[in-house]
Amino acid sequence: MKTQLNTKKDLIKDIMNPFTLEEAVSLIYRLAVLKKDALPPGKKYGITQIGHICGVLTLNDQIEIVIKFHDEMRQFTKEEFYTQVKLLDE
C-alpha cells in the first residue's frame, strides 16, 4: 500500500500563525467581501460591498492585510481575515 505525504500548505489549518510575507503579498489585488455581507451563489454584489486587497503592513511584528472598501479601509490579521473575509475569486 502506497502512502503519500501531502506537503501542500493549507492556509486554513495554519490560521493561528501570522501571515508570512509571501502569503500576504500573494493576496494583493484580489477582490473580497465581508462574510457577513456574503450573497448566495449566482447573486451579484454591489460595488459598495466589494473590497480589494490593496496592501500589506507590519504592526507589532505581525503582518496584516489591508482591504479598501467603498467607504472604509480595514486591516486584518490572518485569523481575522479567514474568519471575516471571503475571497470572490475562489
Q: Could you list the pLDDT tens digit for every one of the 90 residues in the chain?
A: 454 444 445 555 566 789 999 999 999 999 999 999 988 888 999 999 999 999 999 988 899 999 999 999 999 999 999 999 999 976
Dihedral, 9, 15, 20, 26 alpha carbons, nearest 10:
70
Inter-CA distances, 31 with 10, 17, 52, 80, 83, Å: 20, 23, 4, 16, 16
Say if pTM beats, i.e. exceeds, 0.85.
no
Per-residue pLDDT, 17: 85
pLDDT for 4:
47
Distance separating alpha carbons of residues 55 and 77, to the nearest angstrom: 12
d(CA 24, CA 62): 11
- Amino acid 6: pLDDT: 45
